[in-house]
Structure 1
Amino acid sequence: MFGMADGDPTPGLWNWAIGNRIDAERVHGAIAGALERNVGPLGTDGAIMCDVYRVGGDFPTLADVYLAPAGVDEATAASAVAVRLETAVLLADDTLDPTRYVLAEPDGTLRPVHVDEIETDDGPERRGLRPCTGGDCDRTPERPAAA
Protein backbone atom coordinates (compact mmCIF):
# COMPACT_ATOMS: atom_id res chain seq x y z
CA MET A 1 0.00 0.00 0.00
CA PHE A 2 1.23 3.47 -0.85
CA GLY A 3 0.37 4.95 2.53
CA MET A 4 -1.89 7.62 1.17
CA ALA A 5 -5.65 7.72 0.89
CA ASP A 6 -5.85 4.92 -1.68
CA GLY A 7 -6.45 2.40 1.11
CA ASP A 8 -9.52 4.16 2.47
CA PRO A 9 -11.57 1.70 4.56
CA THR A 10 -14.80 3.60 3.73
CA PRO A 11 -15.28 3.32 -0.04
CA GLY A 12 -17.77 5.75 -1.48
CA LEU A 13 -17.15 8.54 1.07
CA TRP A 14 -14.43 11.15 0.71
CA ASN A 15 -13.87 14.08 3.09
CA TRP A 16 -11.71 16.84 1.68
CA ALA A 17 -10.58 20.26 2.92
CA ILE A 18 -9.94 22.85 0.21
CA GLY A 19 -7.33 25.60 0.57
CA ASN A 20 -9.57 28.53 -0.44
CA ARG A 21 -13.18 29.58 -0.15
CA ILE A 22 -14.79 27.98 -3.20
CA ASP A 23 -18.48 28.01 -4.14
CA ALA A 24 -20.32 24.68 -4.02
CA GLU A 25 -21.16 24.82 -7.74
CA ARG A 26 -17.49 25.20 -8.64
CA VAL A 27 -16.51 22.30 -6.35
CA HIS A 28 -19.25 20.14 -7.90
CA GLY A 29 -18.03 21.05 -11.40
CA ALA A 30 -14.41 20.22 -10.58
CA ILE A 31 -15.37 16.83 -9.15
CA ALA A 32 -17.66 16.12 -12.10
CA GLY A 33 -14.86 16.94 -14.52
CA ALA A 34 -12.33 14.81 -12.66
CA LEU A 35 -14.63 11.79 -12.38
CA GLU A 36 -16.56 12.30 -15.61
CA ARG A 37 -19.82 11.81 -13.70
CA ASN A 38 -22.73 13.98 -12.61
CA VAL A 39 -22.22 15.64 -9.22
CA GLY A 40 -24.83 17.52 -7.24
CA PRO A 41 -25.85 18.52 -3.73
CA LEU A 42 -27.22 16.02 -1.21
CA GLY A 43 -30.51 14.54 -2.37
CA THR A 44 -29.59 14.55 -6.07
CA ASP A 45 -30.87 11.39 -7.76
CA GLY A 46 -28.50 9.28 -9.82
CA ALA A 47 -25.44 11.38 -9.11
CA ILE A 48 -22.43 11.58 -6.89
CA MET A 49 -23.53 13.79 -4.01
CA CYS A 50 -21.32 16.45 -2.48
CA ASP A 51 -21.98 18.60 0.56
CA VAL A 52 -19.86 21.76 0.58
CA TYR A 53 -19.62 23.99 3.65
CA ARG A 54 -17.40 26.63 5.23
CA VAL A 55 -15.20 26.55 8.30
CA GLY A 56 -12.28 28.62 9.55
CA GLY A 57 -8.64 27.69 9.28
CA ASP A 58 -6.22 27.37 6.40
CA PHE A 59 -8.56 25.03 4.48
CA PRO A 60 -11.87 26.89 4.79
CA THR A 61 -14.02 24.87 2.35
CA LEU A 62 -14.97 21.32 3.28
CA ALA A 63 -16.35 18.88 0.72
CA ASP A 64 -17.97 15.61 1.74
CA VAL A 65 -18.31 13.44 -1.37
CA TYR A 66 -20.89 10.64 -1.11
CA LEU A 67 -21.27 7.69 -3.49
CA ALA A 68 -17.77 8.15 -4.89
CA PRO A 69 -17.25 5.53 -7.59
CA ALA A 70 -15.58 2.26 -6.60
CA GLY A 71 -12.27 1.67 -8.28
CA VAL A 72 -11.33 5.35 -8.42
CA ASP A 73 -8.30 6.19 -6.31
CA GLU A 74 -9.25 9.00 -3.90
CA ALA A 75 -5.83 10.66 -3.96
CA THR A 76 -5.77 10.70 -7.76
CA ALA A 77 -9.28 12.20 -7.85
CA ALA A 78 -8.29 14.85 -5.29
CA SER A 79 -5.23 15.66 -7.39
CA ALA A 80 -7.38 16.23 -10.47
CA VAL A 81 -9.80 18.39 -8.47
CA ALA A 82 -6.91 20.47 -7.06
CA VAL A 83 -5.72 21.16 -10.61
CA ARG A 84 -9.22 22.18 -11.72
CA LEU A 85 -9.78 24.43 -8.69
CA GLU A 86 -6.21 25.81 -8.83
CA THR A 87 -5.88 25.33 -5.07
CA ALA A 88 -4.71 22.69 -2.61
CA VAL A 89 -6.95 19.85 -1.46
CA LEU A 90 -6.24 18.06 1.81
CA LEU A 91 -7.39 14.50 2.48
CA ALA A 92 -6.77 11.95 5.21
CA ASP A 93 -4.12 9.30 4.70
CA ASP A 94 -4.27 5.71 5.90
CA THR A 95 -1.82 5.95 8.80
CA LEU A 96 -2.80 6.07 12.45
CA ASP A 97 -1.17 9.50 12.89
CA PRO A 98 -4.06 11.96 13.44
CA THR A 99 -2.00 14.92 12.19
CA ARG A 100 -0.87 13.31 8.93
CA TYR A 101 -2.69 14.01 5.67
CA VAL A 102 -2.15 13.90 1.92
CA LEU A 103 -1.87 17.27 0.19
CA ALA A 104 -2.94 17.46 -3.45
CA GLU A 105 -1.25 20.57 -4.76
CA PRO A 106 -2.63 22.84 -7.52
CA ASP A 107 -0.13 21.33 -9.99
CA GLY A 108 -1.42 17.82 -9.22
CA THR A 109 1.47 16.71 -7.03
CA LEU A 110 0.60 14.54 -4.03
CA ARG A 111 2.71 14.65 -0.89
CA PRO A 112 2.37 13.67 2.75
CA VAL A 113 2.05 16.56 5.21
CA HIS A 114 1.10 17.25 8.78
CA VAL A 115 -1.59 19.69 9.87
CA ASP A 116 -3.27 20.46 13.18
CA GLU A 117 -7.00 19.89 13.40
CA ILE A 118 -9.34 21.64 15.81
CA GLU A 119 -12.97 20.57 16.09
CA THR A 120 -15.38 23.53 16.13
CA ASP A 121 -19.17 23.90 16.10
CA ASP A 122 -18.95 24.52 12.33
CA GLY A 123 -16.72 21.51 11.64
CA PRO A 124 -13.03 20.65 11.71
CA GLU A 125 -10.59 23.49 11.11
CA ARG A 126 -7.14 22.64 9.82
CA ARG A 127 -4.15 24.90 10.42
CA GLY A 128 -0.37 24.82 10.53
CA LEU A 129 0.50 22.89 7.37
CA ARG A 130 4.05 21.54 7.55
CA PRO A 131 6.11 19.03 5.57
CA CYS A 132 6.10 15.41 6.56
CA THR A 133 9.58 14.62 7.87
CA GLY A 134 11.05 11.95 10.09
CA GLY A 135 10.38 8.27 10.61
CA ASP A 136 6.61 8.45 10.13
CA CYS A 137 7.05 9.70 6.58
CA ASP A 138 9.89 7.48 5.37
CA ARG A 139 7.58 4.88 3.83
CA THR A 140 5.62 7.40 1.77
CA PRO A 141 7.65 9.18 -0.90
CA GLU A 142 6.27 12.17 -2.74
CA ARG A 143 4.76 11.29 -6.08
CA PRO A 144 3.29 13.17 -9.00
CA ALA A 145 -0.31 12.31 -9.74
CA ALA A 146 -2.16 11.78 -12.97
CA ALA A 147 -4.43 14.82 -12.94
Structure 2
Amino acid sequence: MTELWNWRIDRVPPVEVYPALAEALGRVVMPLAVADPARLPTYAVICDVWEAPGEFGTIVDCYGVPDRLSEEAGIAALARLLGRNCLLRDDTLDAGRHLLVGPDGTIRPVHFDLTETDDGEELSNQRLCTLDNPGCRGWSRCHRSRWAPDSVIPALAAA
Protein backbone atom coordinates (compact mmCIF):
# COMPACT_ATOMS: atom_id res chain seq x y z
CA MET A 1 0.00 0.00 0.00
CA THR A 2 2.88 2.37 -0.72
CA GLU A 3 1.89 3.20 -4.27
CA LEU A 4 0.90 6.78 -5.14
CA TRP A 5 -1.57 7.57 -7.85
CA ASN A 6 -1.36 11.10 -9.24
CA TRP A 7 -4.12 12.21 -11.58
CA ARG A 8 -5.48 15.40 -13.10
CA ILE A 9 -9.13 16.14 -13.86
CA ASP A 10 -10.69 18.58 -16.29
CA ARG A 11 -11.82 21.23 -13.79
CA VAL A 12 -14.10 19.79 -11.14
CA PRO A 13 -14.49 21.20 -7.61
CA PRO A 14 -12.44 19.15 -5.11
CA VAL A 15 -15.52 18.63 -2.93
CA GLU A 16 -17.04 16.54 -5.76
CA VAL A 17 -13.94 14.39 -6.15
CA TYR A 18 -13.92 12.74 -2.69
CA PRO A 19 -17.30 10.94 -2.86
CA ALA A 20 -16.79 9.96 -6.51
CA LEU A 21 -13.35 8.59 -5.68
CA ALA A 22 -14.75 6.57 -2.76
CA GLU A 23 -17.31 5.01 -5.09
CA ALA A 24 -14.78 4.39 -7.86
CA LEU A 25 -12.30 2.69 -5.51
CA GLY A 26 -14.83 0.97 -3.26
CA ARG A 27 -13.02 2.33 -0.20
CA VAL A 28 -13.35 5.01 2.43
CA VAL A 29 -11.51 8.10 1.17
CA MET A 30 -10.06 10.46 3.75
CA PRO A 31 -8.83 13.95 2.82
CA LEU A 32 -5.15 14.31 3.65
CA ALA A 33 -5.80 17.49 5.64
CA VAL A 34 -7.96 15.67 8.22
CA ALA A 35 -6.51 12.15 8.12
CA ASP A 36 -5.24 11.03 11.53
CA PRO A 37 -2.90 8.07 10.93
CA ALA A 38 -3.62 6.69 14.40
CA ARG A 39 -7.36 6.53 13.70
CA LEU A 40 -7.51 5.48 10.05
CA PRO A 41 -9.26 2.28 9.07
CA THR A 42 -6.79 -0.14 7.46
CA TYR A 43 -8.76 -0.05 4.19
CA ALA A 44 -8.90 3.76 3.89
CA VAL A 45 -7.37 5.64 0.98
CA ILE A 46 -5.83 9.01 1.86
CA CYS A 47 -6.37 11.59 -0.82
CA ASP A 48 -5.27 15.15 -1.47
CA VAL A 49 -7.16 17.23 -4.05
CA TRP A 50 -6.27 20.79 -5.05
CA GLU A 51 -6.56 23.29 -7.89
CA ALA A 52 -3.67 24.30 -10.14
CA PRO A 53 -3.51 26.61 -13.16
CA GLY A 54 -4.02 25.51 -16.75
CA GLU A 55 -5.86 22.68 -18.42
CA PHE A 56 -6.78 19.75 -16.19
CA GLY A 57 -6.25 21.94 -13.15
CA THR A 58 -7.81 19.67 -10.52
CA ILE A 59 -5.02 17.48 -9.14
CA VAL A 60 -5.60 14.28 -7.17
CA ASP A 61 -2.99 12.35 -5.16
CA CYS A 62 -4.10 9.01 -3.68
CA TYR A 63 -2.08 7.14 -1.03
CA GLY A 64 -2.78 3.59 0.16
CA VAL A 65 -4.60 2.52 -2.98
CA PRO A 66 -6.17 -0.94 -3.24
CA ASP A 67 -3.77 -3.62 -4.50
CA ARG A 68 -6.53 -5.45 -6.36
CA LEU A 69 -7.48 -2.47 -8.55
CA SER A 70 -5.38 -1.30 -11.48
CA GLU A 71 -4.72 2.41 -11.78
CA GLU A 72 -6.28 2.49 -15.24
CA ALA A 73 -9.51 0.88 -14.01
CA GLY A 74 -9.65 3.25 -11.01
CA ILE A 75 -9.25 6.42 -13.04
CA ALA A 76 -11.67 5.16 -15.70
CA ALA A 77 -14.30 4.62 -12.99
CA LEU A 78 -13.65 8.12 -11.63
CA ALA A 79 -13.91 9.70 -15.10
CA ARG A 80 -17.23 7.93 -15.67
CA LEU A 81 -18.66 8.96 -12.29
CA LEU A 82 -17.61 12.60 -12.71
CA GLY A 83 -18.47 12.74 -16.41
CA ARG A 84 -15.07 14.41 -17.00
CA ASN A 85 -11.86 13.69 -18.81
CA CYS A 86 -8.98 12.69 -16.53
CA LEU A 87 -5.22 12.38 -17.03
CA LEU A 88 -2.51 10.17 -15.68
CA ARG A 89 1.17 10.00 -16.52
CA ASP A 90 2.20 7.48 -19.10
CA ASP A 91 5.23 5.19 -19.09
CA THR A 92 7.60 7.21 -21.32
CA LEU A 93 9.07 9.57 -18.71
CA ASP A 94 8.19 12.41 -21.11
CA ALA A 95 6.80 15.08 -18.76
CA GLY A 96 4.45 16.41 -21.45
CA ARG A 97 2.94 13.05 -22.42
CA HIS A 98 -0.08 11.78 -20.53
CA LEU A 99 -2.92 9.32 -20.94
CA LEU A 100 -6.32 10.90 -21.48
CA VAL A 101 -9.10 8.83 -19.89
CA GLY A 102 -12.58 9.72 -21.10
CA PRO A 103 -15.90 9.26 -19.31
CA ASP A 104 -16.62 6.43 -21.76
CA GLY A 105 -13.57 4.53 -20.45
CA THR A 106 -11.28 4.97 -23.43
CA ILE A 107 -7.62 5.72 -22.91
CA ARG A 108 -5.49 7.52 -25.50
CA PRO A 109 -2.05 9.16 -25.34
CA VAL A 110 -1.88 12.95 -25.56
CA HIS A 111 0.76 15.65 -25.33
CA PHE A 112 0.76 19.01 -23.53
CA ASP A 113 3.08 21.96 -23.31
CA LEU A 114 4.35 22.35 -19.73
CA THR A 115 5.07 25.59 -17.94
CA GLU A 116 6.43 25.72 -14.39
CA THR A 117 4.65 28.39 -12.35
CA ASP A 118 4.72 29.43 -8.70
CA ASP A 119 1.46 27.47 -8.33
CA GLY A 120 2.81 24.28 -9.91
CA GLU A 121 3.04 22.72 -13.32
CA GLU A 122 0.65 24.20 -15.87
CA LEU A 123 -0.56 22.14 -18.82
CA SER A 124 -1.66 23.77 -22.07
CA ASN A 125 -2.05 23.08 -25.80
CA GLN A 126 -3.48 19.54 -25.61
CA ARG A 127 -2.92 17.46 -28.74
CA LEU A 128 -3.24 13.78 -29.58
CA CYS A 129 -0.14 11.60 -29.76
CA THR A 130 -0.35 10.59 -33.40
CA LEU A 131 1.92 9.55 -36.23
CA ASP A 132 0.78 12.72 -38.01
CA ASN A 133 2.96 14.60 -35.49
CA PRO A 134 6.66 14.42 -36.48
CA GLY A 135 7.64 14.33 -32.78
CA CYS A 136 5.74 11.07 -32.30
CA ARG A 137 7.31 9.18 -35.24
CA GLY A 138 10.37 7.01 -35.58
CA TRP A 139 12.56 6.63 -32.55
CA SER A 140 10.55 8.93 -30.29
CA ARG A 141 9.76 8.01 -26.69
CA CYS A 142 6.17 7.53 -27.81
CA HIS A 143 7.10 4.24 -29.50
CA ARG A 144 8.69 2.86 -26.32
CA SER A 145 5.34 3.12 -24.55
CA ARG A 146 2.72 0.41 -24.31
CA TRP A 147 0.43 3.28 -25.41
CA ALA A 148 1.57 3.70 -29.01
CA PRO A 149 0.75 6.82 -31.02
CA ASP A 150 -2.83 6.77 -32.35
CA SER A 151 -3.90 4.08 -29.85
CA VAL A 152 -7.37 4.18 -28.33
CA ILE A 153 -7.86 1.44 -25.76
CA PRO A 154 -10.78 0.64 -23.44
CA ALA A 155 -9.71 0.97 -19.79
CA LEU A 156 -10.76 -2.57 -18.92
CA ALA A 157 -8.55 -3.96 -21.67
CA ALA A 158 -5.65 -1.85 -20.38
CA ALA A 159 -5.94 -3.08 -16.80
Confirm or deny that 1:16 pairs with 2:26: no
Structure 2 spans left out of the alignment, 5+ residues: 132-136
SS at match of 1:29: helix
Match of 1:81 among 70, 78, 82: 78
Instruction: Tell me what 2:134 maps to.
Output: none
Larger radius of gyration: 2
8 Å CA contact retained: 1:109, 1:144: yes
Match of 2:22 among 32, 45, 58: 32
Confirm or deny that 1:51 pairs with 2:79: no
Structure 1 spans left out of the alignment, 5+ residues: 1-9
Q: Summarize deviations over 1:68-88 as a string: whole Å, max 9, x none.
A: 122321122111101111111
> What is the Cα deviation at residue 18 of structure 1?
0.7
Q: Summarize deviations over 1:1-47 as a string: whole Å, max 9, x none.
A: xxxxxxxxx95201111111x23232111111111111120125222
CA distance in 1, matches of 2:93, 2:120: 21
Q: Summarize deviations over 1:94-118 as a string: whole Å, max 9, x none.
A: 1132211101112211111111222
CA distance in 1, matches of 2:23, 2:69: 14
Confirm or deny that 1:145 pairs with 2:155: yes
SS at match of 1:94: coil
> What is the Cα deviation at residue 92 of structure 1?
0.3
RMSD of Structure 2 on Structure 1 (CA): 1.9
Confirm or deny that 1:120 pairs with 2:149: no
